Chain A
């Protein structure tokens, strides 16, 4: 076992804790009398310190230690958050973030935090609560030297334990292992702290320093007797620790190698080839009726399926990786404008393909900045309008089948239509005599490059984010030709054949019974008034599903699946309200896109 998995874990966890610090600082800033945020920040910084110490990242631990001292004084005292203090803490969190990133890539030495550390110490002594009575204590005692808590000088060897992933009650097992170690000597710097062993997400990996005369093999053997221990590593002696550290750094670097998305794309392509080859192998196996070939074919099938799933999963990233930097961004830009704005983020855990997420960061940032500068009013204006002085922006991600909807909403003054109209007239975007803008016109005007930042979003949708659609082909038998329509795959749950499922009628409508549920049918031919030729006898039914509602679309045939670009068109009066747009097919002929929502 090498330390690299710890480096990865450390990085991920440290980022989470520091991100939590940012959130808590924002909370404290909004409500400076509150005490809870200080406690939370203290605990988060303390945890980061412990983890960094265990990893041997001395400078991170030192900085965290000084911050912890200040925070400890703050949480014990009753001082409200002064602006100066908050700025210092924000800067400290930023510095810790940088320090963590540098440390795991082995560039800890590039850190220069001496000035910040000194500032933290000074602030710490200013806010330190007086020892017994009243004010006027000249200076608080100097914070204890960080060396006291740092492993390189802390006694003992670094011991790392990983429990079997399948082990039940990992927390209890970890405690037993710790007791075994304690039987051999003195245990220091347990990370994560013992209290975290009981947390639900404790994964059975922990580390500590053990001061003991026993040799490494004996320590490992003793710990393994706790049972369910997968791996134990014991550093040989103190001088070995730095070596281990540098391997960890090397390992960490490899583990965190950023993979170029093009590589993943290339892998996807290769997998596609593999799947084709697999198909040929399966055919051959079926032909030869040779059990040996069959076995290999089945094995290859399973491997390629897993591989494909892994690659797809490798591209999925939770949105918080991008969203979590926004609360600070919103706060910083609001501050510059003398406004008070809180950002609420919903649906953080929702995962998106990394390529899309990467593309989303900038446009979302623009939209948020836009909401801060144009949407949210200055505090005085908000008060006059009877609103809280602090504005709120909600950034939310919601999964809706295969798509994710991301919304930004603010409680500000809204769009000033008159001003937009005026400017649109000035720039010649609308007729000089226009008196009002329709919603549609408004959007079009706002989305003009240079008019607002909305063009950034357009460029995302123009970058192949696209929409998967199932193409539905309606053949008019003996008619003038055929009509093709596109249907977004998002709401397609399955396809069945008419005649394959029992039919019935519900409130005068045809329906099929599908797994004991009645699904009403829509005959697309009739609905779209396609010429009255006979429909093919066995028509496919495309089952649409949105929430609890289901509808079966009876079509003449299905043409295939492809990505398309959605375009608008000037719909004449009377056009059935069933279309969300149109697209141009590969042969250059337009096809209308059915609006699944409208059909349900």
Chain B
């Protein structure tokens, strides 16, 4: 995400937070599944789901980002399949809703600006859409530690 280059971003909402992930790392957007619990896994991990015959481990976005639990049932919301570790892993990430797919010029993003309510090391940049701030998540920094052995 170097300056001046246009970046495509997927904007979504998790709890009270408007977030974005680089569209290049988004493999698929799926409805929310009821997962199979993985005993011993950290609380952020919802469990395993079946994506057309492949097993995908799903992380609850609201727990990973310290947001309030979504009000709907376990099947409400959306699962975003994200590529981690340069595409070597595909992880499901639950969000409350997907808002938009944006193409943003690098210059409109501000680097690492601290926002209240989110760990600054997980923020790659901050942008603005329709007057509202959103944080571009460092999905590797957010999710890789969950899987590090």
Contacts and interface: CB of A to CB of B under 8 A. Distances in A.
A573 B147 contact: yes
Interface in B81-121: 86, 88-89, 91
Given A570-B89, A584-B55, A528 B39 contact: yes
Interface stretch (A108-116, A374-382, A589-597): A589-597
Interface string A553-572: 00000000000000111111
Interface stretch (A240-248, A272-280, A575-583): A575-583
Interface string B49-66: 110011111000000000
A592 to B, nearest CB: 7
B149 interface: yes
B6 interface: no
B42 interface: yes
Contacts of B57: 569-572
A578 B148 CA distance: 18
B54 A567 contact: yes
A582 B55 contact: yes
Interface in B22-81: 34-42, 45, 47-50, 53-57
B81 to A, nearest CB: 12
Interface in A483-513: 483-484
| Main DSSP-derived SS at the A contact region | loop
A594 to B, nearest CB: 10
A572 B147 contact: yes
Contact of B36 (A430, A572, A574, A592): A592
Contacts of A592: 36, 38-39, 48
Given A568-B55, A572-B146, A584-B55, A590 B42 contact: no
Interface residues of B, number: 28
Nearest to B37: A483
A570 to B, nearest CB: 5
B145 interface: yes
A529 interface: yes
Interface string A396-433: 00000000000000000000000000000000001100
Contact of A590 (B55, B145, B146): B55
A599 B128 CA distance: 53
Given A431-B86, A568-B55, A590-B55, A573 B48 contact: no
A575 B38 contact: yes
Contacts of A588: 50
B126 to A, nearest CB: 28
A584 B88 CA distance: 22
A530 B50 CA distance: 21
Interface string A465-488: 000000000000000000110000
Nearest to B86: A431
12 contacts: A527-B39, A568-B55, A570-B147, A572-B38, A574-B41, A575-B41, A582-B36, A589-B36, A589-B50, A590-B49, A592-B38, A592-B48
Given A569-B57, A575-B40, A590-B47, 8 more contacts: A570-B89, A570-B91, A571-B38, A571-B57, A572-B42, A575-B39, A589-B36, A591-B36
Q: Which 9 pairs from chain A and chain B are nearest by CB?
A: A576-B40, A572-B41, A569-B55, A590-B48, A528-B39, A590-B36, A572-B45, A570-B57, A575-B40
